[in-house]
Each structure stands twice: as C-alpha cells, then as structure tokens.
Amino acid sequence: MGMGRPREFDAEVALDQAMEVFWRHGYEGATIAQLTEAMGINPPSLYACFGNKEGLLKAALDRYSKLRGAWMDVVVAAPTARDVAERMLIGIAEKQTDPANPPGCLLVQGGIACGTGSENVPFELAARRAQNEDQLRDRFVRAKADGDLKPTSDPAALARYVSAVSVGMGVMASSGSDREALRQVATVAVQAVEAQSADRT
Amino acid sequence: MGMGRPREFDAEVALDQAMEVFWRHGYEGATIAQLTEAMGINPPSLYACFGNKEGLLKAALDRYSKLRGAWMDVVVAAPTARDVAERMLIGIAEKQTDPANPPGCLLVQGGIACGTGSENVPFELAARRAQNEDQLRDRFVRAKADGDLKPTSDPAALARYVSAVSVGMGVMASSGSDREALRQVATVAVQAVEAQSADRT
DNA sequence: CCACATCTGTAGTGAACACTACATTTCTGG
DNA sequence: CCAGAAATGTAGTGTTCACTACAGATGTGG
C-alpha cells in the first residue's frame, strides 16, 4: 500500500508566515484567508496539517518558543542577576522593534482577551509567558544562593517583575514606541534589580 | 413639533454594562448580541445612541477615562515622585484584581491587536494610555524641578517606565495573577523610581 | 502498471457577524 | 387632541467567518 502524495509545501516555512499573521493581527483578528494566503497554501492543506485554527496557533507558538527559548538561554547565562535583567530587557527593546518582525511580542499580540469560543487562547499564551518567568526565577534563585542578590530579596517577585516589564514593553512597541523609548524603559527597570543586588565589596 | 419619544434606558448605566463586556472580551471578541443583552436594549437603540460598535467603544472609553482620571489626580497628588509611583502601582494592583470589575485594564484588554477593519482600535487605546503617561511625566518634571528627583533623571523615561509596568501588570491580572503577586511587582518596580530620587538629607 | 493512500484546488457549507427596514409606540409643541 | 419627531421591538439584510465535500493529482508498495 502506498504512502500517499507528498506535501508540496514546507511546514516550517509556512508556520513562519502564519506566525507573522497572528503576531500582527492577533488570533481572532487573523482570518483563515489571510493565513492561507501568507502561507501560500489552500485551506484543506492547512486543516490537514494543523487540524484547525487553534492548532495552527499552537504550532506557531511552539516555533516561537523554540526560537525565543534559545535566546533566553543566552540571557540567563549572564554573570549576575542585574546583568540577566539588563540583557533581557535591552534585548527585548531591540527584538520588539526589529523591522524584520511585527512590533511587540507574539505571546502578547496573539490575544489578551478573546471572544466566546476562544477563551483558552489567552491562557495558552499566558502559559508560554510563564515558562520564561520560571526560567528567570530559577536564575534569580541561583543568584540569591550565590550571594549576588540580597538575602532579603524575593527571586520569584523579581522574575515576575522583569516579566511584567517585558510584557509592558511589548504593548508599547506594538502601539508605536520606538527603540530608544523602549531602551529607556529597560534602563530604568534594571535599576530595581540593581537595588536588590548585594553591594559589591 | 414634538420632541419625540424619550429614551427608555439610562445611557450611562448601559455604558457601564458595555464597558464590562469590552473589558472581558476585547473589542473584536465582544459581539453586538452580548453588548445589547448586557445593556438591556435592542440593536436599533444601540445604533441610534452610539452610531456603531466603534462609537460604543469610544463612549465606553470616555467613561472609563473619566473614572480613572479622577483617580489619577489623587495619584499625582502624592508628595514625592516615589510616592506617586507607589500610589499608582499599588493602586493598580488592587484595582486590576477588584472582583467588582473584570481583571486587568480596559485600555489593554480592549484590544492590542485587531483584524482588518479595526486597525485604529489599538491606536485609540494607546492614545488613552498616553494621556496617563503624560500626566505622570508632568508630575515627574515637577518633581525634578523640586529637587525630589536627581538632576540626572529623565522624567519622561520614568513616566514611560511606570506606564509600562502598569500595562504589564494589567496583562498579568487578566491572565490570573492574584493581588499579592501584583503587589510584589509594584513593590519591586517602585525601587527603580527610588533609585532616581535625590538622597534625603 | 495497478491498488491504495495522501495531498491539492475548486467550490462551496451553515453559522455568526455587524448592521438596518419597518411598523409601532410614546412623547412634545401648538 | 392632533401632527410631527424620535425611540422601540421584530425580523430580517448581506457579508464574512471557520471549516469541508469532492474530484482530480501524485506519490508508494506489490
């Protein structure tokens, strides 16, 4: 028995295009017509490959998380908690205003509020954001153990804080803030982490 | 000539209901059917009174800004820049987790990304957020003139920063963070403003 | 080269959407 | 009390949406 006709498009390339549409218009704002056009395929191919619109979003998120995860590894490799925060926030200022991508962050632009029938899309995005926050928290726990952060500091709260600033910067970027404005926010934000850092002696 | 049949519903009460629907589902996620049901009226009454869906959103935003504007006046009345930031961010932590309202902030939940045909909704929301930022900036300019903020500080950057943290907290609230988590973020965030404050002598 | 499995393009499907035509009701000014 | 003005409820309008039936195309295993 044969194995059927082979797929004529590259799923990863198509996913990159879909990712961009979701990024720019959000889950609900993106239509199947826009997605299929951007992906260069017809609806039946999309549904055969990804199940439905939400399946396509999840696949796009997986791809996004994969790319972003590699970068997060670089971020948490910074030598101190302060440097982790700086590398992350300054990096976000630049990534979120990179003209190669839509402005902002897919994990925010994808959809913060959704209509009936898509209620779990915001949850899905929140879960992905939480992964980054967990990674930061683990790094800050280690920083505290190393004596890099003050004994009174709360690594989980710090991670939440950096994550919150990231999200806020993403929204600003998507509504037109330029790179310099975001860098200023990042620079100020880092000072709160600095305030939690042990004095250098 | 007569003045016509009087309206049978209270426009402000109806707006409050509409505001809640937009807040919970976003502009695109909210349907006319949900809105009219929440408002207790039929579509023709809605269109006669507010023009169209976007007109209703703007009216709801006006009402939201009015309520929120009064609170912002209280915020900027705090004695120091640091206290302004604290009053604002701690207040936001509580407001955005107030069970009387949907979680988060209407100016964010309303819609960060929208589909074709509603592109200016995100701009509209951004413009309203910018008003708050401007109010903060003016307050920080004064704080710098008063010697409350360091001569090297940048009031506009500080205002952008506080605004960004507010937005980030809103997104966190809408995705399930509880009041205590938000308070922790606020507490950390205030320390960056503190770092820009002149030493007390 | 044939049976079968899978993909592809065309052309729709029913449902949900924002919005409205229209007849009716309820008011005011004269 | 009557004429005109404006709001209301019913019942739609056309459009767009996510999704799919189907027939033909293109591959593999025997």
Of B112, B158, B196, the CB nearest to A112: B112
d(CA A32, CA A95): 27
Chain B residue closest in CA terms to A178: B160
% residues pLDDT > 70 (chain B): 99
How is chain B split into domains, by residue range?
Answer: 63-195
Q: What is the per-residue pLDDT for A200? A: 73
% of chain B surpassing 90 pLDDT: 97
Which residues in window 9-68 of A are less than 7 A from strand C by Cβ? 9, 41-45, 48-49
Residues B33-52 have a mean pLDDT of 98
The average pLDDT across B125-146 equals 98
Asked whether residue B1, judged by its CB, lies under 7 Å from any atom of the DNA or RNA strand D, the reply is: yes
From the number of C-beta atoms within 10 Å of its C-beta (0-12, 13-18, 19+), residue B129 rates as buried
Contact A26, B119 (CB under 8 A): no
Range name among A28-42, B2-16, B36-50, B145-159 with the lowest pLDDT average: B2-16
pLDDT of B201 > 70? The answer is no
Q: B-contacting residues of A 38-77, CB under 8 Å?
A: none
Closest chain A residue to B109, measured at CA:
A113
The arithmetic mean of pLDDT across residues B78-107, rounded, is: 98
Residues in chain B with CB shorter than 8 Å from the CB of A112 are 26, 104, 108-109, 112, 171, 174-175
A33 contact to strand D (CB, 7 A limit): yes
CA distances to A169, B122, B155, B161 from B137, rounded to whole Å, are: 17, 22, 6, 10
Mean pLDDT of chain B: 97
Q: How confident is the model at residue B3 (pLDDT cuts 50, 70, 90)?
A: confident
**pLDDT for position B1:** 64
Q: Which CATH architecture has domain A11-195?
A: Orthogonal Bundle (1.10)
Q: Which two tokens stand for residue B56?
A: 């209703």
- What is the structure's pLDDT at A1? 66
From A11's Cα to the closest Cα of chain B, the distance in A is: 24
Q: Note down pLDDT in tens along chain A; length 201 residues.
A: 678 899 999 999 999 999 999 999 999 999 999 999 999 999 999 999 999 999 999 999 999 999 999 999 999 999 999 999 999 999 999 999 999 999 999 999 999 999 999 999 999 999 999 999 999 999 999 999 999 999 999 999 999 999 999 999 999 999 999 999 999 999 999 999 999 999 876
Residue A56 burial by Cβ neighbours in a 10 Å radius (0-12, 13-18, 19+) = buried
Residue nearest to nucleotide C3 (CA to C1'): A1
Superfamily holding B63-195: Tetracycline Repressor, domain 2 (1.10.357.10)
Q: How crowded is residue B79: how many other Cβ atoms within 10 Å of its Cβ?
A: 11
Which tens digit of pLDDT belongs to each residue from B147-196? 999 999 999 999 999 999 999 999 999 999 999 999 999 999 999 999 99
Could you tell me which of B70, B66, B53 has the C-alpha nearest to residue B18? B53
Looking at the complex, report in whole angstroms how far the Cα of residue B29 sits from the nearest Cα belonging to chain A: 4
Tell me which amino acid residue B183 is: R
**Chain A residues touching B122 at Cβ < 8 A:** 174-175
Query: What is the DSSP track for A55-91?
Result: HHHHHHHHHHHHHHHHHHHHHHTSSSHHHHHHHHHHH
Residues 109-148 of A with CB under 7 A from strand D: none
**How far does Cα B19 stand from its chain's mean position?**
12
